[in-house]
Every structure is written in C-alpha cells, then in structure tokens.
Amino acid sequence: MTKRILSFLLLTALLLGSVLPAQAAEQPNPIPVVAKENRTPTTKGVHHYMLICVDSWDAQASFAKKQWGNHTDGLMLVTVDENANRVMLTSFIRDMLIQRPDGKFGRINNFLDVGGWCYENGKTYNEGFHALVETINGHFDLNIEKFIVVDFRQVENIINAVGGVDITITNREATYLKRYSISPSSTTPAIAEGQGGTYHFSGHAAVIYMRIRKIETAEYMHADGKVYSDHQDYGRTYRDRMVLTSIAESLKNISYDDALKLLDVIIANTVYTNMTIDDLFAAVELAMRMKENPVENIRMPISNPSKQKDGGTWYEITPTVESYNKNNYSYCEFAYDGMATKQVNFEVNRQALHDFLTDNFVVVDDE
C-alpha cells in the first residue's frame, strides 16, 4: 500500500511538473549600440585590424558544403598607433551578450552557427563576418574596417612559418598538455608532467595551448590593479594574447624579404579577408616600422572578479541547474536562449577600451 501511495505521488508530481510553465529567463538589459554616424572618428595614424578565428580545423571545407556550426571563438583586435609608437591587442570574450544586426540578442561568437544571425537570416558566412565586425564597432564605438579570418589549422601553419613560439606555462598547464598527448617533439624540450617553465612550441602545440579552458592561467596584473589568474574563456583570451605577443617578439629582427614570405603564408592560410593586396602590403610596411615596439594588451570586458550584477563591468544571467566544483574552484554555467552568456556594462568597458587605446588607461587599486 505504501509503495502504491509513493508511486501515485511521484506520478502526480511528474504530471504537474509537465504542465507548469518553465521558469522565465532573465531579460537582458538594453544594449547601448553606437550608430555609425555617431562613432568617435579614428585618429589619423591609428590602424585597426580585426583577427577572427573560426572554431574549426577546416573551416573552408565546412563552408563549401554549407555546413553551419562554426563559432568565431577567437576575436582579437590589433591596433597600431603610429603617432604614439604603440602596438596593442584587445581580445573579446566569446560569450558576451550583444545585439545582433536583426535586433535580437545573441552571443558575439554566434554569427555563423545554427541559430545564429547567418542561419536565421539566410546570409552567407562572408556576410556574417562583415556583420560581426560591424557589431563590434557599434558596441565599442570603433571604426574597424579591415579584418582577416583564419581557422585552427591555418593558425598552426602561420606559427610554424615564423618558427614556432616561446611560451611560459605553469605546472598545471604542463600536466594538462602532457596528458592531452601532444607529440613530445612538438615542444622543445618535450613537456614533462608537472614541470612548468618556458618551452618552444610548434604550431599545433601552440593551438592546443590556446584552447585550454579547464586549467587556470598564471597569475598576472589585471585592469582592476589586482594580481590573480584567469579561468575558462578568460584564460583562453589571455593565452591567445600571449601567443600573439610571442609571435611579435620573434619577428623583431625579421627582414623585409622574410616579411613578404610570411605574408604569402598568411594569404595562403586565410578563410576570408576584406583586405586587398595593397592593404596587406601596407600592413607589412607598417609592421616593419613598428616591429621593435612592445605589445600591450587588454581584454573586453575588463576584470570583474566579484561578478556583481550592480556596479560591475559584467555579470552572468539566467543560471542553469548545472553548477559544480572542479579544479579546486567553483563556477557555474549560465544561459540565455540556450547559450552561456554574460551581460556587459558596455559604457564602462567602452570607456576603458578607449582610455587604453589613447594611453589614458589608469589602473586603480581600491584596497
């Protein structure tokens, strides 16, 4: 009799649960997009180049077959200021919530994927890249015009063309890469488990390093004036910047002839670009003039370790039921419209980015 009662109660609960309305997703705040005619003009002598990496080892093949499903997880802005002799990298976190060209909310990396802007609006992937760059412009008050799109294999080929990169890794990163079973010959020396340090990475090993999410980065100074490590996608953006910085360091003594050879490699390893041959040669000339300058970097959104909804630079919205503890730190996955995402305070981050690009960025320590 007791078993029948329990079974009846369980069945009732399931039936009632099936007709109850789902918990409403948290509505995002309005996103202040700057119209093209209202954007701050780019100062003469300042050049922006957007680097976009498609989350695929062979993007050309999937695009040729009209196979959607590729995110643009790698988003890096290279800014060269001839007036101030500065070279700057700005990485954009892949899961920030943005307002798409069709007015809908979505993730910044979701222009090409099923359910993204291209798929829903019948656009081609090329149109998606243009829309992505224009969306970044509107959200951050920029005027980026030139961009290059690559995939993982092409990044590997380009890194190999420059002779590999030197990367300093932590003990935990060394263990992760060792257990990932990258070829022992892909780093010099071969990575030993638990043995952090500086290694010379081949292209494939560098891409695997850039994709690490589950291991925190080394500690470094953040925009809030505090020193701590990055986790998850923030760690990826940090590693991306470190690899590009290492490439820049390795090219400080490159000759003009070798720079032109590298340009040939880049052209051969590009999914898509709106840059003409003249644009590319002009970029090489600029790089040669600026090659001895140190590379500065920033991330959008800037640091917000407290993750507070009010007063921070970003916060997660609409938590799912999944939350867990891993690698000795706790984190949760959050979703909006089925996607993990973060609501960004664009006014604060926009100002921080412009301060950084104009050398007015000041680190403030409140403690």
Residue-wise pLDDT for 334-345, tens only, equals 555 566 788 899
Q: What is the CATH number of domain 45-164+203-357?
A: 3.40.630.190
Going by pLDDT thresholds of 50, 70 and 90, the confidence category of residue 327 is very low
CA distances from 52 to 76, 129, 215, 323, 327 (A): 7, 8, 24, 30, 30
- CA 251 to chain centroid, in Å, comes to 23
Report pLDDT digits (tens) over 230-248. 777 778 888 988 999 999 8
Alpha-carbon gap, residue 273 to 49, rounded angstroms: 11
Going by pLDDT thresholds of 50, 70 and 90, the confidence category of residue 159 is very high
Going by pLDDT thresholds of 50, 70 and 90, the confidence category of residue 125 is confident
User: Rounded mean pLDDT of 42-51?
Assistant: 96
Going by pLDDT thresholds of 50, 70 and 90, the confidence category of residue 18 is very low
Question: For all residues of the chain together, what is the average pLDDT?
Answer: 82
User: Rounded mean pLDDT of 175-200?
Assistant: 90
pLDDT at position 216 is: 83
The answer to whether the beta carbons of residues 202 and 159 sit under 8 Å apart is yes
Residue 12 pLDDT > 60: no
The answer to whether the beta carbons of residues 119 and 68 sit under 8 Å apart is yes
User: Rounded mean pLDDT of 171-187?
Assistant: 89
pLDDT at position 8 is: 43
pLDDT at position 19 is: 40
pLDDT at position 224 is: 65
The answer to whether the beta carbons of residues 246 and 166 sit under 8 Å apart is yes
Residue 151, classified by CB atoms within 10 Å of its CB into exposed (0-12), middle (13-18) or buried (19+), is: buried
How many angstroms separate the first and last alpha carbons of the chain? 64
Most confident of 65-74, 111-120, 166-175: 166-175
Between 263 and 231, the more confident residue is 263
Q: Which of 153, 169, 152 is nearest to 215 (CA)?
A: 169
Alpha-carbon gap, residue 14 to 8, rounded angstroms: 10
Residue 324 pLDDT > 50: no
Map tokens 């079974």 to a residue. Answer: 7
Residue 44 pLDDT > 60: yes
Q: Among 203-207, 216-220, 283-287, 343-347, which is the least confidently predicted range? A: 216-220
pLDDT at position 7 is: 47
> Domain spans of the chain?
45-164+203-357
Residue 320 pLDDT > 70: no
User: Rounded mean pLDDT of 267-287?
Assistant: 94
Q: Pull the structure tokens for residue 58.
A: 């062979």
Q: Taken in order 231, 237, 243, 245, is the CA torsion positive or negative?
A: negative
Map tokens 């590319």 to a residue. Answer: 280
Going by pLDDT thresholds of 50, 70 and 90, the confidence category of residue 306 is low
Report pLDDT digits (tens) over 78-89. 999 999 999 999
pLDDT at position 214 is: 83
Residue 118 pLDDT > 70: yes
Query: Sheet of 295-300: strands edge to edge?
Result: 272-273, 146-151, 46-54, 74-81, 86-92, 295-300
Going by pLDDT thresholds of 50, 70 and 90, the confidence category of residue 277 is very high
Alpha-carbon gap, residue 312 to 229, rounded angstroms: 18
Number of other residues whose CB lies within 10 A of the CB of residue 346 = 26
pLDDT at position 161 is: 95
